[in-house]
Amino acid sequence: MTETSTWSQRFESALHPAIASFNASISFDIELIEYDITGSQAHAKMLAHTGIISPEEGEKLVTGLEQILQEYQQGTFQPGIDAEDVHFAVETRLTEIVGDVGKKLHTARSRNDQVGTDTRLYLREQIQQIRQYLRAFQSILLEIAEKNVETLIPGYTHLQRAQPVSLAHHLLAYFQMAQRDWERLGDVYKRVNISPLGCGALAGTTFPIDRHYTAQLLDFDSIYANSLDGVSDRDFAIEFLCAASMIMVHLSRLSEEVILWSSEEFRFVSLKDSCATGSSIMPQKKNPDVPELVRGKTGRVFGHLQAMLVIMKGLPLAYNKDLQEDKEGIFDSVNTVKACLEAMTILMGEGLEFRQQRLAEAVTEDFSNATDVADYLAAKGVPFREAYNLVGKVVKTSIAAGKLLKDLTIEEWQEIHPAFDTDIYEAISPRQVVSARNSYGGTGFNQIKQALLDARSQITE
């Protein structure tokens, strides 16, 4: 190793090749190039604005940086491992383009505040994109819900049939989860959108910089109040990964339901050929690969959140190279969440069909109207607990007799309790069972109609 180092004169020899590659982040942080350039342009403008460099020098740096972006977009600038990271790659190329003035770019700046700035600029944009994906997902859920107010589906607790609900109600539950995800990302955005630029390596700088000026140029809402915190804070990354994990929890739950619904045991939905795959050996099979993959990919996003928490735990102030490990998890989470939202939106929108006939049968073939019999008696003055016990007995004898509640004769009902009248049949019909749950937020049709209107206005705000 006789080559000279890229570092200051303090170093006599170059890095061991294996260590150089171990140390380098260029293979993945090249993703930040656009933001690195934008951040550097703002920094150069600020240096000129404050008189730290001349206006001409500032101009040269800004134009040179612009050229690097074009070269990158055209594919002519492809920095290799020797660049170490995107920040060095850009700075080195800049000096090749504009000459020695390029060496002034890093005045009053460190890669520590630079990488923090880049990551925030990247995440800021990605958050807005993910929010759009969430909106598209919500729109599809809402569209299907609007068409299926009257479609009934068994509602479950403990994965046992409990009470029928409107399919719209079921889908709106996922709509609300996505709404919280959308809001949560908006909240994370506030903490992402704070500028660490100008915090320097850790302690600030001796130059008369203007941090507010760069923050304004880069559209940051505010600036870090403490330079040590500014360069070493990754709370915003943890918060983002947490919000991303929550999105995945929700998508994974829906995935699980679609997988169950498409099984022979449920048969509530049929998968369209465009979103299902076959088996290489069993010709009869149609597999729900999309929701299975979404459910599976959830694990890696949770993993990235866990990794980030562990990276931060026990990290002394201020910057430590451990922080370079934040990026791959963030990038992968961003890409995974977007891909999963897109796939689930397509799956729900055009990849499956609810089997209306089968759903209509499903809500009439069980005892999920038993609560309504108890409610019927309770409404006629029988204490609820007494009514509940009575109906429990009826269910038991009906099961033994191979009957459903709707099959009992009026004589049989009146034998159970004289308060029963012929209107019991209507009261326990699935449609009425659903319709009657008209309490706020319930599945009653009037509630659903209002909920649909509210949901529509939530996404058009």
List residues with catalytic annotation: 158, 279
- Using CB under 6 A as the binding rule, whether residue 35 contacts ligand ARG is answered as no
Round to whole Å and give the CA distance between 454 and 445.
Answer: 14
Residue closer to ligand ARG by CB (options 31, 85) is 85
Measured from the CB atom, the residue of 29 and 31 that comes closer to ligand ARG is 29
Find the shortest distance in angstroms from Cβ 9 to ligand ARG.
18
According to DSSP, the residues that pair with 155 across neighbouring strands are 163
User: Does 321 participate in binding ligand ARG (rule CB under 6 A)?
Assistant: yes
Interface with ligand ARG (CB under 6 A), residue from 216, 287, 324, 429:
324
Closest CB to ligand ARG among 204 and 349?
204
Footprint on residues 281-320 left by ligand ARG (CB under 6 A): 319
Using CB under 6 A as the binding rule, whether residue 115 contacts ligand ARG is answered as yes
β partners of residue 269? 354
SS3 labels along 6-47 = CCCCCCCCCCCHHHHHHHCCHHHHHHHHHHHHHHHHHHHHHH
Rounded Cα gap, residues 124 and 236, in angstroms: 10
Q: Are 323 and 373 in contact (CB under 8 A)?
A: no
CA distance 308 to 94: 33
Single residue of 112, 117, 163, 298 touching ligand ARG by CB under 6 A? 112
Name the pairing type of β-strands 152-157 and 160-166.
Answer: antiparallel
Among 165, 185, 301, 323, binds ligand ARG (CB under 6 A): 323
Residue 85 interacting with ligand ARG (CB under 6 A) = yes
The least CB distance from residue 320 to ligand ARG, in Å, is 8
User: Taking a C-beta distance cutoff of 8 angstroms, is the pair 267, 342 a contact?
Assistant: no
Q: How far is CA 228 from the centre of its chain?
A: 30
Site for ligand ARG in 86-105 (CB under 6 A): 87
Count the residues of the shown chain that bind ligand ARG, applying the rule CB under 6 A: 11
Neighbours of 271 (CB within 10 A): 22
Q: How far is it, in rounded angstroms, from Cα 445 to Cα 461?
A: 24
What Rg value do the Cα atoms of the chain yield, rounded? Answer: 31
Minimum CB distance to ligand ARG, residue 193 (Å): 20
CA atoms within 13 A of residue 373's CA, in its CB half-sphere = 25
Toward ligand ARG, which CB reaches closer, 322 or 366? 322
DSSP structure class, residue 274: G
Candidates 93, 111, 124, 184; binder of ligand ARG (CB under 6 A) is 111
Q: Count of residues for the chain? A: 461
- Please tell me the distance from the alpha carbon of residue 211 to that of residue 72, in angstroms, as a whole number: 28
Q: Which residue has the tokens 């929550």?
A: 246
Amino acid sitting at position 130: I
Judged by CB under 6 A, which stretch of 7-15, 110-118, 218-226, 268-276 contacts ligand ARG?
A: 110-118
* Stretch near ligand ARG under the rule CB under 6 A, chosen from 58-66, 107-115, 263-271, 289-297: 107-115
Please tell me whether residue 177 binds ligand ARG under the rule CB under 6 A: no
Closest CA to 133 of 318, 304, 339: 339
Question: CB 321 → ligand ARG: shortest distance, Å?
Answer: 6
Query: Quick one: which of 25, 40, 148, 193 contacts ligand ARG (CB under 6 A)?
Result: 25
Residue 114 vs 369, nearer CB to ligand ARG: 114
Interface positions with ligand ARG (CB under 6 A): 25, 29, 85, 87, 111-112, 115, 319, 321, 323-324
